[in-house]
Amino acid sequence: MAGGSGTRFWPLSREAFPKQFLKISGSETLLQQTFHRIETLATPERIYIAANAAMGETCLSQLSSFRKENLIIEPMPKNTAPAIGLAAFRLIKADPQAVMVALPSDHYIEDRDAFLEIIKTASEAALSGFLVTLGITPTRPETGYGYIQKGEKEISTNSGAAVFPVKAFREKPDFQTAERYIREGGYYWNSGMFVWKASIILKEMETYMPSMFEKLSLMDRIESRGEREKIFASIMPESIDYGIMEKSGKSIVVPTDIRWHDVGSLSAMAEVNETDGKGNMHRGNILGLENENSILYGDERLVAAIGLKDMMVVDTPDAVLVCPKDRAQDVKKIAERLRKDQRTEFMEHRKESHAWGSVSTLDSGSSYRARKVEMAPGGIFELGRSSKGGGHLIVLSGTAHFITGEEVLSVSAGGSFSFPEGARHRVENRGLENMAALMVQFSGF
């Protein structure tokens, strides 16, 4: 599942480029880590990704071995239940007996071998008709996670692993309640990872979420994109936890310790990366003196900090965040304010990377935006439909092919062209060399 927004990871994450596409720990993005973690469990044709249309392209660009036809497009965010339902309908077409492993794309798991073993255990239970959720053995009183309370009677399995019925799902607690959970035992962090037969989760959805089941079933039977989007828009957002897992008598929990982290906020970077002797995590071009237990991140520029304690400083080309580590959850409030104000700093990074190249914003105002477009051979950049003002494009190197409807205009380095308002346009690099261009769009871009 690759549809999350990652608002608590701003300014590193943006609406168009959330945290699953970031290299939080190591040389791979969280999405790449998740994909490669499960490659030994399933062949490429049996791995699916659910994401919205805007993020689908990024998924494909980051995963060279992923099959494009296995991308499940969510027309809009509707929480986990509709995404899982869409995937289940796809899976039973390929294999009516399929066991479905539903995984968030933005989690960090250190113990890969233990993860693979627990998935095998959960799969055995799923074949018996259970809805399995993975419960993480807690290591501290944590207020940022939901909890799963297990039932008392252990369920026997062929693997001999401990498996229990779910007694209750608990919302994120306050600190005192989290301390009680740890003290009493029998509570596990809710990882948001599930294993079940695709046919069973659909039967439970039909029982407990009949309206959603009916609409997803209808979507599965029609091919018109417009009709599918209209149906999906009418579905009420809901999580799989609340919609089915809390209500079904088939829900069980498999406790595990796989050194898991949901990387739910920027403060988690210190937990999934190496720190120095004073607990500081540095990433990028950093100069720190006499700091303690702080996170310093520099995307490009030098970041210098002196005497900080329990602080976060995150620098990107167009935004800087300074925040106490214990207020990391409040970063979401900043992101929500930026969304409300329609700030570009919420929507996208100054430089957007794509499979075909990149687009960098050089300057922008209320009625214009200037960007540099760099395209590899074979690249296609969809400009969409221009409204007021249209725009201009100057080719800096290589050759650009500008397409409007059936008309194709070829422009070499030093040349330029204007695109009028009201028509759909795209730029292609049909040559054998990289192409770079300066593009200025006016109001309505």
Cα pseudo-dihedral 412, 416, 420, 422, rounded to 10: 40
Q: Are 92 and 219 in contact (CB under 8 A)?
A: no
- Number of structural domains, the chain? 3
Q: What average pLDDT does range 386-400 have in this prediction?
A: 82
Confidence at residue 384, expressed as pLDDT on a 0 to 100 scale: 63
Residue 96 belongs to domain spanning: 75-261
Question: Given the DSSP bridges, would you call strands 164-170 and 147-150 parallel, antiparallel or unpaired?
Answer: antiparallel
Same domain, 112 and 243: yes
Same domain, 329 and 432: no
Confidence at residue 165, expressed as pLDDT on a 0 to 100 scale: 92
Confidence at residue 320, expressed as pLDDT on a 0 to 100 scale: 96
Confidence at residue 426, expressed as pLDDT on a 0 to 100 scale: 85
Confidence at residue 115, expressed as pLDDT on a 0 to 100 scale: 94
Is residue 8, in this structure, part of any structural domain at all?
A: no
Confidence at residue 264, expressed as pLDDT on a 0 to 100 scale: 87
Same domain, 290 and 366: no
Confidence at residue 159, expressed as pLDDT on a 0 to 100 scale: 60
Same domain, 179 and 217: yes
Whether residue 385 is predicted with pLDDT greater than 80 in this model: the reply is no
Which stretch, 152-156, 285-289, 419-423, has highest mean pLDDT? 285-289
**Three-state secondary structure readout of the chain:** CCCCCCHHHCCCCECCECHHHCCCCCCCCHHHHHHHHHCCCCCHHHCCEEEEHHHHHHHHHHCCCCCHHHEEEECCCCCHHHHHHHHHHHHHHHCCCCEEEECCCCCEECCHHHHHHHHHHHHHHHHCCCEEEEEECCCCCCCCCCEEEECCCCECCCCCCCEEEEEEEECCCCHHHHHHHHHHCCEEEEEEEEEEEHHHHHHHHHHHCHHHHHHHHHHHHCCCHHHHHHHHHCCCCCCHHHHHHCCCCCEEEEEECCCEECCCCHHHHHCCCCCCCCCCEEEEEEEEECCECCEEEEEEEEEEEECCECEEEEEECCEEEEEEHHHHHHHHHHHHHHHHCCCHHHHCCCEEEECCEEEEEEEECCCEEEEEEEECCCCEEEEEECCCCCEEEEEEECEEEEEECCEEEEEECCCEEEECCCCEEEEECCCCCCEEEEEEEECCC
Whether residue 387 is predicted with pLDDT greater than 60 in this model: the reply is no
Confidence at residue 358, expressed as pLDDT on a 0 to 100 scale: 87
Digit-coded pLDDT (tens) for 318-370: 999 999 999 998 999 999 999 999 888 898 888 888 778 889 989 888 788 89
Q: What average pLDDT does range 176-188 have in this prediction?
A: 95
Q: What average pLDDT does range 262-279 have in this prediction?
A: 93
Same domain, 86 and 178: yes
Q: What average pLDDT does range 200-214 have in this prediction?
A: 96
Which stretch, 99-103, 357-361, 378-382, 406-410, has highest mean pLDDT? 99-103
388 pLDDT band, cuts 50/70/90, is: low
Same domain, 307 and 371: no
Q: What average pLDDT does range 161-186 have in this prediction?
A: 92
Rounded to an integer, what distance in angstroms lies between the CA atom of residue 124 and that of residue 120?
Answer: 6
Is residue 229, in this structure, part of any structural domain at all?
A: yes
Same domain, 227 and 142: yes
Is residue 194, in this structure, part of any structural domain at all?
A: yes
Domain end among 222, 238, 261: 261
Cα pseudo-dihedral 245, 248, 252, 256, rounded to 10: 0
Is residue 7, in this structure, part of any structural domain at all?
A: no
Is residue 28, in this structure, part of any structural domain at all?
A: no
Same domain, 195 and 86: yes
Q: Are 108 and 25 in contact (CB under 8 A)?
A: yes
Whether residue 381 is predicted with pLDDT greater than 90 in this model: the reply is no
- Report the CATH number at residue 176: 3.90.550.10
Q: What average pLDDT does range 4-22 have in this prediction?
A: 89
CA nearest neighbour of 189 among 177, 199, 181 = 181
- Report the CATH number at residue 374: 2.60.120.10
Confidence at residue 160, expressed as pLDDT on a 0 to 100 scale: 64
444 pLDDT band, cuts 50/70/90, is: low
Same domain, 219 and 165: yes
Digit-coded pLDDT (tens) for 70-98: 999 888 889 999 999 999 999 999 999 99
Is residue 346, in this structure, part of any structural domain at all?
A: no
Confidence at residue 422, expressed as pLDDT on a 0 to 100 scale: 67
Domain end among 335, 364, 381: 335
CA nearest neighbour of 375 among 411, 344, 423, 417 = 411
Is residue 322, in this structure, part of any structural domain at all?
A: yes
Domain end among 261, 279, 307: 261
Same domain, 247 and 393: no
Digit-coded pLDDT (tens) for 25-41: 989 999 999 999 999 88
Q: What average pLDDT does range 64-69 have in this prediction?
A: 89
> What rounded mean pLDDT belongs to the chain?
90
Same domain, 200 and 111: yes
Percentage of the chain exceeding pLDDT 70: 97
Q: Indicate left, alpha or beta for 414 from its phi (over 0: left) and psi (-120 to 50: alpha).
A: left
Same domain, 169 and 245: yes
Percentage of the chain exceeding pLDDT 90: 67
Rounded to an integer, what distance in angstroms lies between the CA atom of residue 28 and that of residue 56?
Answer: 18
Digit-coded pLDDT (tens) for 105-142: 999 999 999 999 999 999 999 999 999 999 999 999 98
Confidence at residue 1, expressed as pLDDT on a 0 to 100 scale: 86
Is residue 351, in this structure, part of any structural domain at all?
A: no
Confidence at residue 57, expressed as pLDDT on a 0 to 100 scale: 81
Confidence at residue 55, expressed as pLDDT on a 0 to 100 scale: 84
